[in-house]
Amino acid sequence: MIVTRTVAEFRAARDELLAGGQTAREGLGLVPTMGYLHEGHRSLMRRARAECSAVAVTIFVNPTQFGPNDDFTRYPRDEARDLEACAAEGVDLVLAPSIEEIYPEGACTTVSVGPLSRVLEGAARPGHFDGVATVVTKLFAIAGPCRGYFGQKDAQQLMVIRRLARDLVLPVDVVGCPIIREPDGLAMSSRNVYLSPEERSQALGISRGLRQAEAAWVDGVRDADSLRALVRSEIEAQPLARPEYVSLADTETLEELAGLAGPGALLSVAVRFAGTRLIDNVVLGG
Ligand code: PAF
C-alpha cells in the first residue's frame, strides 16, 4: 500500500497502478473518508475492492464542512490505526494530505448544490454541504475517472454528491452502500466514541424508532405524520435525547411529505446527546 501526502504523489502512484495488468475489474475505486475508520468505511473499501482493479482511500478531516460550533478540532483522529485498516482491506493507495495541500493559500472556489443542500442537515448546519461538495469535487478531480463509494447513512450527502457529479458532468460513478450497524442496531459513526455509556444506550432509541416506523409502514400505515410521530415518541422517551428533526421526505427532492408515504420515501433523523449529534435513516420499502 502506498501512502501519499500530495496531489502529485497520489496521481503518480495512481497512474502506475492503473498502468499495471488489466483485470476483469477495471478502473479506480475511490473511498473518500475523514478517517477514524470503522466497519462502515471498511464495507465501502471491500465493495470497491470487489468492483475495481485499484482502490484508493482518502483520509482528510475537511475543515470547510464544519461550522463554528461544530467539532472540527475535537473530531477523532488516529492515522496509524486508519492505515492498518486500509492495509487489511487490501487498499492500494492512500491520500492523507495536509489542509494546505487541499486548500492552498488563496483558494476561493466553492461548489454549492442548491436547494438539496439547504434542508435537513443543511438547515441545521449552514454551509456544511458547500464544504462537502467543494472537497468531494476536489477529491474527484484529484482521482480522475473513478467509481466513488459513499455510505447511505449520510443519505442527504449521498444525494448531494450524486447531483454534483451529474450537474458538473464529472467522470465518476457514485455508488451508494448500505448503512452498517452495531449488533444492537446503532448506526456506525466516528462520532459514537463521544457518547457516554448512558447516552450510548439511549441512542438505541433512534434505530428502534426507525425500525418501528418501518414495520408500521410494512403493515400498511402510510400517513406521514403518524410515521414521524412513531419515531419521535421513541426518541423522546430517552431523557438524554434531543431530536433536532424527524423527517419523512421525498427521496428525489427532500421535500417533506404532507400526506401519504409511498415506497422510497426517506425517513431520517438528527438527534443530539449533549455535544454529540447523531444521524440515521431508513428508506421505506427498502
Ligand atoms: O462522509 C464523510 O466522511 C465526509 O463528508 C466526506 C464525504 C469524506 C467529505 O469530507
Distance, in Å, from the CA atom of 132 to the CA atom of 25, rounded to the nearest integer, reads 29
30 in helix, strand or coil?
A: strand
Pull the grid cell for residue 133: 461538495
Question: What pLDDT band is residue 21 in, cutting at 50, 70 and 90?
Answer: low
What's the grid cell of residue 241? 435525547
- Positions of CATH 3.40.50.620 in the chain: 2-177
137 lines ligand 1 (CB under 6 A): no
Q: Evaluate the CA torsion angle 236, 216, 197, 186 in order and state its sign.
A: negative
* H/E segment holding residue 168: none
What's the topology of domain 2-177? Rossmann fold (3.40.50)
**Closest Cα to atom 8, ligand 1: which residue?**
33
Distance from residue 164's CA to the centre of ligand 1 (Å): 14
Per-residue pLDDT of 78-98, as tens digits, reads 999 999 999 999 999 999 999
In ligand 1, which atom is closest to the CA atom of 32? Answer: 8
Select from 34, 64, 160 the residue to mutate for testing ligand 1; criterion: most ligand atoms less than 8 Å from CB: 34
Ligand 1 pocket residue status of 133, Cβ below 6 Å:
no
Percent of the chain with pLDDT over 90: 95
Query: Per-residue pLDDT for 26 more than 80?
Result: no
CATH label, 190-283, candidates 3.40.50.1580, 3.40.50.12170, 3.40.1030.10, 3.30.1300.10: 3.30.1300.10
Contact yes or no for 275/281 (Cβ under 8 A): no
pLDDT reading at 59 higher than 90: yes
Q: Tell me: the pLDDT tens digits for 266-280? A: 999 999 999 999 999
Using only C-alpha atoms, the chain has a radius of gyration, in whole angstroms, of: 19
Check if 265 has its Cβ closer than 6 Å to any atom of ligand 1.
no
Which residue has a Cα nearest atom 2 of ligand 1? 33
What are the residue ranges of CATH 3.30.1300.10 in the chain?
A: 190-283
Which contiguous run of DSSP H or E holds residue 113? none
Give residue 23's pLDDT: 52
Phi-psi region for residue 119, left (φ > 0), alpha (ψ -120 to 50) or beta?
beta
Ligand 1 close to Cβ of residue 160 (< 6 A) = no
71 band by pLDDT with thresholds 50, 70 and 90: confident
Please report the pLDDT score of residue 247 as a whole number: 98
CA of 32 to the centre of ligand 1 (A): 6
pTM for the full model? 0.96
Q: Compute the distance from residue 284 Cα to the ligand 1 centre, in Å.
A: 25
Cell of 27: 478502473
Question: What atom in ligand 1 is closest to the CA of residue 190?
Answer: 3
Q: Which three cell numbers stand for residue 149?
A: 463509494
Between CA 173 and CA 275 the distance in angstroms is 35
Catalytic annotation, pick one of 29, 36, 40, 41: 41
Q: Is 38 a catalytic residue?
A: no
